[in-house]
């Protein structure tokens, strides 16, 4: 219950602002490591997944910590 309260206070719509950044950062980073478009998109997908995963983990950890405070 508490994480949803925290995110409700923050506003879910804020998270949409991260989507273009994650997409562009992943694509540009991947493009600096490959020349072939298929390799770029494959690498970018992995990179975006990694970033989103890290954000979720950090978010959960922060939510848990804030629940104890």
Q: How many angstroms separate the CA atoms of 18 and 23, rounded?
A: 9
Instruction: Give the nearest distance from C-beta 30 to other proteins in angstroms.
Output: 9
Q: How many angstroms separate the CA atoms of 67 and 63, rounded?
A: 6
Q: How many residues does the chain have?
A: 69
Binder among 19, 46, 62, 64 for other proteins (CB under 8 A): 46
Binder among 35, 65, 68, 69 for other proteins (CB under 8 A): 35
Query: Residues in the site for other proteins, rule: CB under 8 A?
Result: 14, 17, 20-21, 23-25, 27-29, 31-40, 42-43, 46
């Amino acid at each position: 219950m508490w994480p949803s309260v925290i995110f409700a206070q923050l506003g879910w719509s804020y998270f949409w602002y991260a989507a273009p950044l994650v997409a562009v950062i992943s694509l540009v980073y991947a493009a600096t490591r490959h020349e072939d478009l298929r390799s770029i998109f494959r690498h970018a997908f992995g990179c975006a997944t990694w970033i989103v995963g890290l954000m979720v983990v950090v978010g959960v950890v922060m939510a848990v910590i804030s629940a104890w405070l």
